[in-house]
Amino acid sequence: MKSDLQNYTNNSFSTGRGFLIRTIWYYTNVLLFKSYLLPISSLKVSLLRLFGAKIGKGVVIKPNVNIKYPWRLLIGDFTWIGEDVWIDNLAQVTIGSNCCLSQGAFLLCGNHNYKKSTFDLITHPIVLEDGVWIGAKAAVCPGVVAKTHAVLAVQSVATTDLDAYFIYQGNPAQPVKKRVEVNL
């Protein structure tokens, strides 16, 4: 009979970095990102870059943000990441320019295969194109592409792609109306 440990290690998932880097990032994340000790966004951006994230200019990262693996994170220019956002990027997360991840938003790149007794890990990347707004406490599931200027409303769950310039709401999120931009 195989050991229980083997049931948890039977797929090919890789964290993308070795134990030492992951450990250093873990403590950096806990002490500086998931706390209010470092409220200065530019220092957070510098730390993320140091750990391999690719981040554009003018990005704002508020306190108490949790990022699993910065080396799997790409953020465009002038994007805002609010308090309590969790980026669980077991796979690549790409966030375009001029995006907003509101307070408590959750980007989830992994899940488990409930059809197998071993519950193998399944990961898929997430892409948020330019101008996307993810509402407070909304969740984006593995493999979702939110096309340009899509909006996911408060506490909604995106399980499939979001079309450009549409507002989505609910669980699972459904399109409720077209997004119209007004330039003042």
Structure confidence at residue 175 (pLDDT)? 98
Q: Give the percent of the chain with pLDDT over 70.
A: 94
Tell me: the pLDDT tens digits for 111-157?
Answer: 999 999 988 999 999 999 999 999 999 999 999 999 999 999 999 99
Structure confidence at residue 10 (pLDDT)? 44
Average pLDDT in the 97-109 region?
Answer: 98
Enter the tokens of residue 20: 């030492």
Report which DSSP code applies to 156. Answer: -
Q: Which domains, and CATH codes, for the chain? A: 17-176 (2.160.10.10)
Which pTM value belongs to this model?
0.92
Q: How far apart are CA 86 and CA 9, in angstroms?
A: 25
| Confidence category of residue 44, pLDDT binned at 50, 70, 90 | very high
